[in-house]
Amino acid sequence: MPQADDLDELLLRIARGDRAAFRALYQSMSAKLFGVTLRICRDKSIAEDATQDAFVEIWRKAKDFDGARGAPGAWMAVIARNKAIDQIRKRGRAVLVTGGEDGADVLDTLPDQKAAVDGGVAGLALGQCLGRLADREKEMVVLAYCEGLSREELSERYDAPVNTVKTWLRRGLAALKACLDGEEARGRP
Amino acid sequence: MNAEEDLDAAERALGHAPRFGEKADARQAREAWEARLAPLLDAAEPVAPPDSLWQRIETVIGAESGQVIALDQARAQTRLWKGISGVALAAAAALAIYVAVPATTPTEAAQYVAVVTADDGSGTGLIIQFDTASGVATVIPAGASPPDGSSYEMWHLPQGATQPVSLGLLPQDPVARTTITAGTGDLFAISLEPPGGSPTGQPTQPLYHGTVVRVE
């Protein structure tokens, strides 16, 4: 995985229209971003479209990237995720066949953020705060964010009305934010 | 923003409500949620995309980058166009019209232009128009004469190159050249030199620069 500093530098050059820097960024990040979109789209050709949309947006918006507001790898991963969500909301997607996933694999990786591209502190805090939520709310947040499950899909999965899903999610998100704000305050010198 | 509105933003971040039509503070709140949850994306296993994906992306970027740069450039240039010569103004006006009406039906022949302006923003020194159909570059000097005992020299720095190439002294009047080939992103510059041109083969005192943009 490339270092955040290298990605920062590449984005600066891309903002000036540097195509070679864009090529280098693609080589560094395409497998990561394709992985993010594939997990949501579950179909290679739809995920390719989403990844293409993501890189085109990165090219256009490189000048808007602000390193003070977040790490470059996370900024790009969020763009890819949003493009994947746009694709599946527009085109639908294959039904999840495995069915047994509950987001546990995602949660397992959170405490191990030191190896990740964007540093560990934010991931560690997120992992701790998600861990304090009720299991069902935690799983729903993770499945919605990482796999792009809609309220309707969550409703089916948890056998609960859509409005109940919405209520659970909002409660979970509110608790998550309160916890993260507390973690941030504790981390301050 | 109250707590309920912030949770609405969280729902948009999750993809449970559309992002379209957000106001600035709503967008910021949604982006803050995206950043909070972004570490979850680290768990996605990298998967190499097919080689064809890069080609597709490059095609889209290549098709639009000329126009995007042209618009940005045109906005910057309009502030500098006051006080330049009539010929240059005509060329500038043509550029503005081309940019204001982006081509929706691409033609085979493309028009490119480099507007070379003073580094301190004080005026335009040179406009070069390229016509790929005829292969002719029209060099239109637009600035004042060089100070007594000195010359202006033109330079071309192709995109990705590190050393500029001299195009000779700046002409007094518009000239057509067939030896200048340039692509989008190439840099043109004018430097102040001793009489007759640079003694070293490299610019002595660069004063003006501008990049090539597609205007078709």
pLDDT computed for residue A115 by the predictor: 41
**For A37, nearest residue in chain B (alpha carbons):** B44
Is B213's Cβ below 8 Å from some Cβ in A?
Answer: no
Helices (H), B15-113: 24-37, 52-78, 86-100
Q: Give the global pTM.
A: 0.60
B contact test, residue of A78, A113, A151 with most B CBs within 10 A: A78
- The pLDDT of residue B102 is 34
Cβ-count burial A29-64 (b if 16+ within 10 Å, e if not): bbbbbbbbbbbbbbbeebbbbbbbbbbbebbeebee
Q: Which of B8-17, B89-98, B108-117, B162-171 has the lowest mean pLDDT?
A: B89-98
Confidence class for position B131, pLDDT limits 50, 70, 90: confident
The distance from CA B35 to its chain's CA centroid, rounded to whole angstroms, is 31
**Mean pLDDT of the B15-43 span:** 91
Spatial separation of the C-alpha atoms in residues A145 and A124, rounded to whole Å: 17
Q: Are strands B205-214 and B111-118 parallel, antiparallel or unpaired?
A: antiparallel
pLDDT in tens, B152-198: 899 988 888 888 889 888 887 777 777 777 777 788 888 888 888 88
What does the alpha-carbon distance between residue A109 and residue A121 come to, in Å, rounded to a whole number? 13
* pLDDT in the model for residue A142: 92
**Per-residue pLDDT at B77:** 45
Cross-chain Cβ contact B37/A127 below 8 Å: no
Identify the pLDDT of residue B99. Answer: 34
Give the residue from B28, B111, B145 showing the smallest Cα distance to A69.
B28
Q: Average pLDDT, whole number, for chain B?
A: 75
Size of interface A-B (CB pairs under 8 A): 143
A28 Cβ neighbours under 8 A, 6+ residues apart:
A2, A6, A7, A10
* Interface residue B7 vs chain A (CB under 8 A): yes
At B30, is the pLDDT very low, low, confident or very high (cuts 50, 70, 90)?
A: very high
Which amino acid, residue A9? E
B109: pLDDT strictly greater than 50: yes
The nearest alpha carbon in chain B to A142 belongs to B40
More confident residue, A115 or B110: B110
How many angstroms separate the CA of residue A37 from the nearest CA in chain B?
9
User: Are A177 and B6 a contacting pair at CB < 8 A?
Assistant: yes
Q: Nearest CA of chain B to the CA of A173: how many Å?
A: 7
- Rounded Cα distance between B156 and A86, Å, is 43
- Is any Cβ of chain B less than 8 angstroms from the Cβ of A178? no
CB B213 within 8 A of CB B70: yes
Report which of residues B207 and A106 the model is more confident about. Answer: B207
pLDDT value, residue B207 = 81
Span B43-92, pLDDT tens digits: 889 999 998 899 888 877 775 554 444 444 444 443 343 333 334 444 54
Residues in chain A where the model's pLDDT stays below 50: 1, 97-100, 111-119
- Could you identify the residue written with the tokens 């639908």? A92
pLDDT at B215 over 50: yes
pLDDT at A114: 40
User: Is A171 near chain B, with CB under 8 Å?
Assistant: no
Check CB contact of B16 with chain A, cutoff 8 Å: yes
What is the sign of the dihedral through the CA atoms of A91, A168, A131 and A185? positive
Residue of B nearest to A124 (CA): B39
Average pLDDT over residues B127-134: 76
